[in-house]
Amino acid sequence: MDVFALFGHLLPVEHNTGVLCVALSPSVDVTYLVDGFAVGGTSRPHTVVRVPGGKGFNVARAARALGTPVVAAGIVGGHAGRWIAARLEADAVPVALVDGSVETRTCVSVGAADGSLTEVYEHATPVTPGEWAQLVEVVRRTPAGWVALSGSAPAGAPAGAVAALIDAAREHGARIALDTHGPALAATVDLADVVKVNAAEAAELLGVDAPAAELAAGVLATTSRPAVVVVTAGGDGAVAAVRHSPELTWVRPPALAARYPVGSGDSFLAGLLSVLTVAPDAVPDALRRAVAAGSANALEPGAACFDPLAVTELAGRVEISPSAR
């Protein structure tokens, strides 16, 4: 069977409960763990973790690990694209993939024994307008309760590329969770139901350098649609601004020896949606699980590679505290 055949390789997803996870910029994510790493030298890893990556595929794998029905969609090409398709299916993640004309990129993280992390990420694999049109059709023809759009729009995508995906998702009543940055975020932040960005991305959007709480409140205040804006702040957790609520919500993780942050933001979004898909108004519970999932991810090498039991354990230790805006 052609793994790139549109719609023919989907497993059923119950309408209004599943998540269509769209990888705007897929990759093969490789993590090397080495005893020592020096520029100009030769390093041989003692551990290698290779997974289907790009933020959207990380979200799909993490959400599936948390028991959420998902479909992973994106444009992938060449041998790397076929490998991504096979690995997602091996991880019980249904796929709806578009066959791209360019070999999908590779992103490498090197973790050393001293705790340092070096990242070498290729630019997003370019696409053609025709390939993007096929991806829009995938979204249009794949019913889901939520559509998560994660990553950056690649070179070659047409003007309004991410907005077109949102319009297609709205045709079957999906809610939108958005995790992007730069011009794509500025163009679509007012079209999403949930916006999840890190502090740097929020600061870029608003054009100010401010604490995470001010950024979350600021993004919500300058938009009309998002019900929830979440700004993540690394080891400090995250802060959420909820429309029509006078308070912000700080969510802080337990103290951990977290050495592997790559993929924690994607695991956070997966944790958030794993609750919102079944309880749309349970924002505090969703935030608690989101922080627990992001924290669990940081304990294990490899993006979106974590023990679901650890998420349950960590969720009980997450601190939630309201504060005035």
Tokens encoding 101: 């004309």
What integer pLDDT is reported at residue 128 of this predicted model?
98
Q: What confidence score (pLDDT) does residue 285 get?
A: 96
pLDDT score recorded for residue 38: 81
Sequence-separated (6 or more) residues with CB below 8 Å from residue 319:
237, 250, 251, 252, 254
Render pLDDT for 183-194 as a digit per residue (tens, 0 to 9).
Answer: 999 999 999 999
The number of C-alpha atoms within 13 Å of 286 and in the hemisphere containing its C-beta is 23
Measuring CA to CA, which residue among 181, 276, 220 is closest to residue 284?
A: 276
Per the confidence metrics, is the pTM higher than 0.85?
yes
Give the confidence band of 17 by pLDDT, cuts at 50, 70, 90: low
Per-residue model confidence (pLDDT) at position 227: 96
Q: Is the pLDDT of residue 8 over 90?
A: no
Contacts of 197 (CB under 8 A, 6+ apart): 179, 180, 181, 185, 205, 219, 229, 230, 231, 232
Task: Say what percent of the chain tops pLDDT 70.
Answer: 94
Contacts of 37 (CB under 8 A, 6+ apart): 43, 110, 112, 116, 118
The confidence score (pLDDT) of residue 324 equals: 64
B/e letters for 143-161, b = 16+ CB within 10 Å, e = fewer, are bbbbbbbbbbbbebbeeeb
Helix, strand or coil for residue 224?
coil
DSSP codes, 128-145 = -HHHHHHHHHHHHTS--S
Q: Are 85 and 4 within 8 A, CB to CB? A: yes
6 pLDDT more than 60 = no
Measure Cα distances from 2 to 5, 70, 98, 104, 135 in Å. Answer: 5, 20, 11, 17, 17
Tokens of 12: 């059923």
**Alpha-carbon span 169 to 285, nearest angstrom:** 26
Please choose, from the candidates 91, 89, 74, 53, the residue with its C-alpha nearest in 3D space to the C-alpha of residue 304: 53
- The class of domain 19-324 in CATH terms is alpha beta
Residue 237's closest CA among 119, 321, 152?
Answer: 321
> What is the model's pLDDT at position 3?
37
Q: What is the pLDDT of residues 70-87, one digit of tens each?
A: 999 999 999 999 999 999
Residue 11's pLDDT is 38
Q: Is the pLDDT of residue 15 over 90?
A: no
The more confidently predicted of residues 39 and 131 is: 131
Span 208-243, pLDDT tens digits: 999 999 999 999 999 999 999 999 998 899 999 999
